[in-house]
Amino acid sequence: MSRKNAAPKGKIMSDLRHEKGAEPVLALFAAVFALVAAPSHAQAPGQPSAVIRVDCDRDCLIGYAERYLDALVHRDTTRAPFARHARFTENNVEMPLGEGLWGTINAVWEDSMAIADEQTGNVAWFGIVEEHGHPAYFAMRLKVENREITEVETIVSRRPDMPKPFGDPTRIHYDPAFDEVVPPEERVSRERLVALADGYFSTVELNDGVVFTPFHEDCERVENGIHTTGSGGGSANNAASIAQGCEEQFRLGIYRINKRIRERRYPLVDEERQVVVATGFFDHANTFDRYLLTDGREMRTVLKWPNSISLIEAFKVKDGKIHRIHAVFTYVPYFMHSPFAQPNVDFQTR
Amino acid sequence: MRLTNALSAPARRARKLGTVAAAAALLVTLADAPQAVAQTAAATPSGARARAACDRACLIEIADRYMAALVDKSWRDLPWAERVRFTENDVAMMIGDGVWGTVTKIDEAPFKLADPATGNVLWVGIVEEHGQPAYYAMRLAIVDGQIADVETVVAREGTPAHFAPTAGYALDESFSETLPANERRPRERLIALAEGYYNTMQLNDGQLLGEFAPDCKRVSNGVDFTHGESAPARGCRAQFEIGYYKPVDRVRARRYPIVDEERGVVVAFAFLDHSARFVEYETRDGRTHSIPVEYPNSHRVVDLFKIRNGAVERVEGFAVFQPYLMPSLWKDE
């Protein structure tokens, strides 16, 4: 395992050569012209243009993630190209760039996983950071627009915290499946990929044995470094000690304490690799502190009070089924809202 | 403190609504759904309005009714304002969610303090959630006899924040004691003294920016910070003089919605921000200390200040471990 300490990696700058955008002056001119000449509302809702132009391809986007990490580990925000009004959240609190992890970080580990979506200009990165020498699981989403970083959404999962999966960071495994390009004839569409991930969340929500998404027979999940669906998971709190396999666990209703999976967003899809990155909250209302599995076994909740977990989660789809799940999550106050999410009154329920 | 559950609560009322009536009540509720988003101070009661509507006894009676309803899970019967704002640990949510789903017992001997001038009332004590005790502090704002604000702060065991066992816990008796007239101070001065305490605490470097009684004591979540075994110096003043609270970068979003001049008590709501940029620091007496949590975090605090003769005598309250820089949804009043 290698670590990226104060020295930046040599490839960071070279990644930016993948830029396809116009020169700055021309781009500015084009933008001004567009404001004057473009008919408004003649695009699909939410789209800046009727033709999606890829200004920054996958390698370019990942280059931005690496530049961000380089700036972060140097605690120097001037080392990355931020838009003037770039938004930054750490564990769903919006704060100025340079705050939070920026003040405590001392290393970014090399071993990591990146996912990019050229269409939406988002890039996600999963890895380990160190604060004062203590490793923490870290996941982030950057949005890149006009060759600047406009959004930074981060989850930092630290210790000490409340009881949660937290595997040995030195044994973290990033499944190469997330990087593998799937042959075109084996792919499903962007819309279906999102539906599969959404079905996963619907399965977790009020989990009572009903399964709303297809799971691959070899499905595996890693959460904060722990394999929670297979052998080798470890602790007694781990769901893998009750049942193994993604679908098997849901058929048993292990995750019943999830009252709702809220503010689900799917900002990244990589159709070539059949990967979706989602964000959201698992609300544990804990109105009950014991419940029955579908096989009649009784379970007791660990925490007796309302809490939520906030996550960034990547899904790899194979044969149109969920094959790999990689998540980083942390506890947040119950029902906490993400500044990046639109309030959804459907979830403002008791 | 003693705890009581739903069955023994004297305020519990027999359910009278039949199915039809209950359905009708639900429809009314949906039509006039309480707004849980704590947006602005616009709904804050004006002093005159609040005074006219509800005196001290009235405010405390509503707080008692609220707590009885909480343990009974019967929120529909409470006197709600047209627009209701509800937070639990700084998250806005709907009445009925959060603690409404978990509280199984409430303190039989809570501490209550009302401020008819602002229409606010405080209820602090121990609650149980499925048998697990937690420190609970709540502020209600009452407008025209109706509940407009519900600000709930619940400090639970098992987070990285400090937490002393709740058994036998009670807020110090001095908070109930009425001061002789010559030991009282006006509302504005009481708030300034609480401000001085927080100003001294943030970026604490030995400079005193407030007035402290010689043996001033600080207790948080039942932990005695100034006179306990691990206290680095005895008393608020001595601790501030050595700069013990240096890891507190700022005391943010301070509010003082409840003041009792007769008792010399100020109730403060604030956040302590810990950026954790250093993990060890030296106090002015030459000793080295470690910070308790080595990553950025904030504490939501509710502190009660007992102020006698123009000096802070005791600060006792509750602290909830929160994400760093967690925003407050409540504005100054």
Tell me the pLDDT tens digit for each residue of A51-105. Answer: 877 889 999 999 999 999 999 999 999 999 999 999 999 999 999 999 999 999 9
Per-residue pLDDT at A234: 47
Distance from CA of B210 to the nearest CA of A (A): 29
Interface residue of B130, B290, B291 to substitute, partner A, most A CBs within 10 Å: B130
| Mean pLDDT across B84-89 | 98
Q: Per-residue pLDDT for B13 more than 70?
A: no
Give me the interface pTM, i.e. the ipTM.
0.82
Q: How far apart are CA A206 and CA A204, in angstroms?
A: 6
Residues of chain B neighbouring A105 (CB-CB closer than 8 A) = none
Tokens representing A280 are 């959201």
Q: In chain A, whose CA is at the least distance from the CA of B35?
A: A348
What strands lie across the sheet with B311-323, from one edge to the other?
A: B223-224, B212-220, B311-323, B297-308, B265-274, B250-260
Tokens representing B192 are 């300034």
Per-residue pLDDT at A344: 62
Report how far apart, in Å, the C-alpha atoms of A145 and of each of A11, A18, A55, A84 are: 21, 15, 8, 12
Per-residue pLDDT at A22: 39
Whether the CB-CB separation of A278 and A315 falls below 8 Å is answered with: yes
Please confirm whether the linkage preceding A160 is cis (ω < 30° from 0): yes
CB contact under 8 A, A285 and B98: yes
Lowest-pLDDT choice from A164-173, B39-48, B195-204: B39-48
Residues of chain A neighbouring B90 (CB-CB closer than 8 A) = 333
Q: Per-residue pLDDT for B18 more than 50?
A: no
| B169 in reach of chain A (CB within 8 A) | no
Per-residue pLDDT at A346: 55
Per-residue pLDDT at A19: 42
The average confidence (pLDDT) of chain B is 88
Q: How many CB pairs under 8 A join A and B?
A: 121
CB contact under 8 A, B326 and A333: yes
| A304 in reach of chain B (CB within 8 A) | yes
Per-residue pLDDT at B147: 98
The average confidence (pLDDT) of chain A is 87
pLDDT (tens digit per residue) in A7-18? 333 333 333 334
Report how far apart, in Å, the C-alpha atoms of A304 and of each of B154, B201, B317 are: 13, 33, 22
| A217 in reach of chain B (CB within 8 A) | no
CB contact under 8 A, B293 and A287: no
Q: How far apart are CA B113 and CA B132, in angstroms?
A: 25
Q: Per-residue pLDDT for B303 more than 60?
A: yes
Q: Per-residue pLDDT for A296 more than 70?
A: yes
| Mean pLDDT across A185-206 | 97
Q: Per-residue pLDDT for A35 more than 70?
A: no
B293 → closest Cβ in A160, A304, A349: A160
Q: Per-residue pLDDT for A128 more than 80?
A: yes
Q: In chain A, whose CA is at the least distance from the CA of B321?
A: A333
CB contact under 8 A, A333 and B156: no
Residues of chain B neighbouring A92 (CB-CB closer than 8 A) = 323
Residues of chain B neighbouring A263 (CB-CB closer than 8 A) = none
Residues of chain B neighbouring A284 (CB-CB closer than 8 A) = none
Exposed (0-12), middle (13-18) or buried (19+): which is B204, by Cβ within 10 Å? buried
Sorting pLDDT into bands at 50, 70 and 90, what band is B52? low
Residues of chain A neighbouring B96 (CB-CB closer than 8 A) = 350
| B292 in reach of chain A (CB within 8 A) | no
Identify the residue with better confidence: A257 or B42: A257
Q: Per-residue pLDDT for B67 more than 80?
A: yes
Q: Per-residue pLDDT for B271 more than 60?
A: yes
Q: Per-residue pLDDT for B30 more than 50?
A: no
- Proportion of chain B above pLDDT 90, given as a percent: 82
Q: In chain B, whose CA is at the least distance from the CA of A101?
A: B296
| Adjacent-strand bridge partners of A141 | A124, A153
Q: Return the C-alpha torsion angle A141, A143, A149, A150, nearest 10.
A: -110
Per-residue pLDDT at A67: 98
Backbone phi, psi, residue B210, to 5°: -155, -175
| Mean pLDDT across B200-209 | 98
Q: Return the C-alpha torsion angle A140, A145, A148, A153, nearest 10.
A: -20
CB contact under 8 A, B88 and A335: yes
Q: Per-residue pLDDT for A350 more than 50?
A: no
Residues of chain B neighbouring A348 (CB-CB closer than 8 A) = 36, 93-94
| A172 in reach of chain B (CB within 8 A) | no
Is beta strand A105-109 parallel, antiparallel or unpaired with respect to A122-131?
antiparallel
Per-residue pLDDT at A50: 83
A93 → closest Cβ in B93, B102, B327: B327
| B93 in reach of chain A (CB within 8 A) | yes
CB contact under 8 A, B96 and A350: yes
Backbone phi, psi, residue B10, to 5°: -65, -25
Per-residue pLDDT at A333: 98
Per-residue pLDDT at B15: 31
Sorting pLDDT into bands at 50, 70 and 90, what band is A42? confident
Per-residue pLDDT at A11: 32
| Mean pLDDT across B241-270 | 98
Name the H helices within A175-323: 190-204, 246-252
Cβ atoms within 10 Å of A117's Cβ, excluding its own: 23
| B91 in reach of chain A (CB within 8 A) | yes
Q: Per-residue pLDDT for B92 more than 60?
A: yes
Per-residue pLDDT at A54: 82
Distance from CA of A105 to the nearest CA of B (A): 9
pTM listed for this prediction: 0.85
Per-residue pLDDT at A52: 78
Identify the residue with better confidence: B288 or B40: B288
Per-residue pLDDT at A15: 33
Per-residue pLDDT at A241: 79
* Sign of the alpha-carbon dihedral angle for B127, A281, B271, A129: positive
Residues of chain B neighbouring A332 (CB-CB closer than 8 A) = 323
